[in-house]
Every structure is written in C-alpha cells, then in structure tokens.
Amino acid sequence: MEGDIAEMGKFIGAGLATIGLGGAGIGVGHVAGNFLAGALRNPSAAPGQMANLFVGIAFAEALGIFSFLIALLLMFAV
Amino acid sequence: METEVEHTGLAIHPMDQFIVRKLFCHTESASPMNECTTNIHWYDITNVTMWMAIAVLVIAAILVLGTRRRAIVPSRSQSVAELLYGFIHNMVEEVTGHEGVKYFPYVMTLFLFVLCGNVLGLLPLSFTTTSHMAVTVPLALMVFVGVTALGFMRNGPGFLKMFWVTSAPLAIRPVLAVIEVISYFVRPVSHSIRLAGNMMAGHAVIKVIAGFASIAVVSPVVVGAVTAIYALELLVAVVQAYVFTILTCVYLRDAVGDAHH
C-alpha cells in the first residue's frame, strides 16, 4: 500500500464535498421548474422575467460551485 | 503544492490544461512543474496574457470592422456589433433603470471580455483565461469596489440604509442587517467563483471524458459524448458571460437605482 491516511482523507473529503453539487442541482431545478410553471400560466409575461430567471439560477448555482471549489482545494491545494 | 501529480490513471491529466506557462520557453522536463511553469514574474508573457490579448483583439475586430462601413441596411458584421450593443444596452436599462445607462460602457466591456474569454477558451489547444480566479477575482472586485464607491458617492451615508430593511418588523431588523452585510461582502466571492468554477468544471469534464477515448471499445461513444458536452459548454460559456453581466447590473442597481426600490 502506498500513500497515507492524510492522502486518503483528502480524496474522501473531495468526494464528500461534491455532494454539495446535488444541492445546486435541486436549487436550479426548483428555480427553472417554477419559472416554467409560471410561464405556462401566463406566457405573455415570461419574456420579461428571463433576466430574473438567470439571476435566480446563478444564485442557486453559486453555492454548489462553492462545494466544487472545496473539492478542488482538497485535491490540489491542501 | 508539494505533492507531485502522478500520471497513473488517465493519459492526460484533466487539470493540466489550466497550467499557466511562460511562452518562448523551452523545457525538457515532462513534469507539469518545470522551469516554464514555476517562478513566473509579472512581466513574463504567459499563455494567460496571450489569450487575454487575443480576446481584446477579437473584441476590437468585431466592433471596429463591424462599424467601419455603416449602412442603413446593416451588413452581417455590422449586425453582430449592433446586436451585441443593443442587447447589453437593453439589459442595463431594464435592470438598473435610466440612471444606470451612464455606466453602460463598463458593463459592455465586462460582458465582451468575459464572453470572448469563455468562448475562445473552447477552441482546441487554447487556454481559458476566465477559468482562473486570478482573472475573475479582479473583475469581480472592480465591480464590488466600484459599486460601493458609487453608492457612497451618490447617496452619501444613506447608502447604508440598504442594510436596514424597513419593510421587516423592527424586532428582526438587526438580525437582517447582519445577514445583509454578510451577503454584501460575499458578493465578489460568489461573483468570481461562479464564473471560474463553471469554466473550470466544464473544461475538466470534457478532458476527463476525452481521456476515455484511449480505450478502443468506448471511443465512438466518447466522440459523441465530447461533442454533446462541447455544445453544452458553448451554451454555458455564453450564459455565464450573461450572468456575470446581469449580476453586475443588479449590484449597480443598489448603488444608482431608486432608494425606495
């Protein structure tokens, strides 16, 4: 066996950190799904809300990207 | 970073594409950490500076060549320049209001730079400048510092009222103020990491899947998968440039927009 416990911990930690991306997936799906639900009820109002849709998706996604960053830090910087 | 990258699994390491290396530098070393990639000074011409320069040249070419022969019925290149201009102008006016249009040139510059950085990074053998936090953090910090300074210049100390949510009951306003202040200072962090993270993740995914192409049985599937993800990445590149710009507009609205928003 090569490597050590700290090395193993890094890989396990990086893997665990990627679970956070699932949360981003839920969040982005929630935003997009609700947008679609609203847009189908009132299609004429939908184009005006595209900017809000993207901002919402971006905010939801950012927190998932943070966990991706943690994974990268564990893999390459720690 | 003391640990040396071992090339055991994949033929190409997916993160190798993000290595900053000096141009006009020759090395015999096969390791990613050699004399071309370490000890880089601020005056060294690296692949990052080269691709940023190319992005600037592309932007200049689009806008200068596009508007060289202006006609009532626009040519194709003129349409591209006009569409870009009109798209961003509408966005700034819609999101920040009439007052924000003054800052349209800066937003347009940011959008085109981020867009070109993202899209040029998709060319094979190119380098994605916006996948590096050393590039995106200054961009986000400039927006943050600029918006904060602008807010204080236009509203004076009244800018701080942004953190005091008057629409909430008095009892929870202090708590909300703390949360608002924290979220205000997290803005440049999320603003920059979102762009860098998306770009880095997408390119790493392409590289990881491309690495499987060395297995003969799955290589046709890999070609299809890489093509599909490449198309997705093109979408992500444009959407992330759009998101970066629209968030800039949203932050700008806090500084220049109506106080009773």
User: Where are chain A's structural domains?
Assistant: 2-76
CA distances from B100 to B58, B97, B159, B163, B258 (A): 27, 6, 16, 21, 11
On chain A, the residues whose CB falls within 8 A of the CB of B198 are: 61, 65
Task: Give the pLDDT score at B37.
Answer: 82
Superfamily of domain A2-76 in CATH is F1F0 ATP synthase subunit C (1.20.20.10)
**Averaged pLDDT for residues B199-226:** 88
Q: Is residue B73 classed as helix, strand or coil in its secondary structure?
A: coil
Q: Name the closest residue on chain B to residue A68, using Cα atoms.
A: B197
> What are the backbone angles phi and psi of residue B23, rounded to the nearest 5°?
-85, 170
**How far is Cα B254 from Cα B261, in angstroms, rounded to an integer?**
9
Task: Give the pLDDT score at B26.
Answer: 81
The CA distance from A55 to the nearest CA of chain B, in Å, is: 7
Q: Is residue B22 classed as helix, strand or coil in its secondary structure?
A: strand
Q: Where does the pLDDT of residue B116 fall: very low under 50, low under 70, confident under 90, or very high at 90 and above? A: very high
**How far is Cα B67 from Cα A46, in angstroms, rounded to an integer?**
33
**Averaged pLDDT for residues B214-231:** 90
Task: Give the pLDDT score at B38.
Answer: 81
On chain A, the residues whose CB falls within 8 A of the CB of B242 are: 54
Is A1 a residue whose pLDDT tops 50? yes
Average pLDDT over chain A, rounded to an integer: 88
Taking an 8 Å cut-off on Cβ atoms, the answer to whether A65 and B194 are in contact is: yes
Of the partner residues A55, A63, A77, the one whose CB lies closest to the CB of residue B246: A55
Other Cβ atoms less than 10 A from the Cβ of B25: the count is: 14
Average pLDDT over chain B, rounded to an integer: 87
**Averaged pLDDT for residues A42-70:** 87
**Averaged pLDDT for residues B115-140:** 92
**Averaged pLDDT for residues B122-147:** 92
Is B8 a residue whose pLDDT tops 60? no
Distance of CA B77 to the CA centre of its chain: 24
Q: Do the Cβ atoms of B66 and B77 come closer than 8 Å?
A: yes
Quote the percentage of chain B above a pLDDT of 90.
45
**Averaged pLDDT for residues B124-134:** 90
Q: Where does the pLDDT of residue B4 fall: very low under 50, low under 70, confident under 90, or very high at 90 and above? A: very low
ipTM above 0.85, yes or no: no
DSSP secondary-structure letter at B46? Answer: B
**How far is Cα B206 from Cα B125, in angstroms, rounded to an integer?**
13
Is B2 a residue whose pLDDT tops 80? no
Q: Do the Cβ atoms of B233 and B130 come closer than 8 Å?
A: no
The CA distance from B152 to the nearest CA of chain A, in Å, is: 25
Name every residue in A having a CB less than 8 A away from some CB of B. Answer: 51, 54-55, 57-59, 61-63, 65-66, 68-69, 72, 76-77
The per-residue pLDDT for range B61-96, each reduced to its tens digit, is 999 988 888 888 888 889 999 999 999 999 999 888
What six digits make up the tokens of B259?
């106080």
Task: Considering only residues B23 and B117, tell me which one the structure prediction assigns the higher pLDDT.
Answer: B117
Task: Give the pLDDT score at B19.
Answer: 86
Helix and strand numbers (H, E) in chain A are 3, 0
Name every residue in B having a CB less than 8 A away from some CB of A. Answer: 1, 15, 91, 94-95, 190, 193-194, 197-198, 200-201, 239, 242-243, 246-247, 250
Q: Where does the pLDDT of residue B9 fall: very low under 50, low under 70, confident under 90, or very high at 90 and above? A: low
Distance from first CA to last CA of chain A, Å, rounded? 22
The CA distance from A68 to the nearest CA of chain B, in Å, is: 7
Is A76 a residue whose pLDDT tops 60? yes
The CA distance from B1 to the nearest CA of chain A, in Å, is: 6
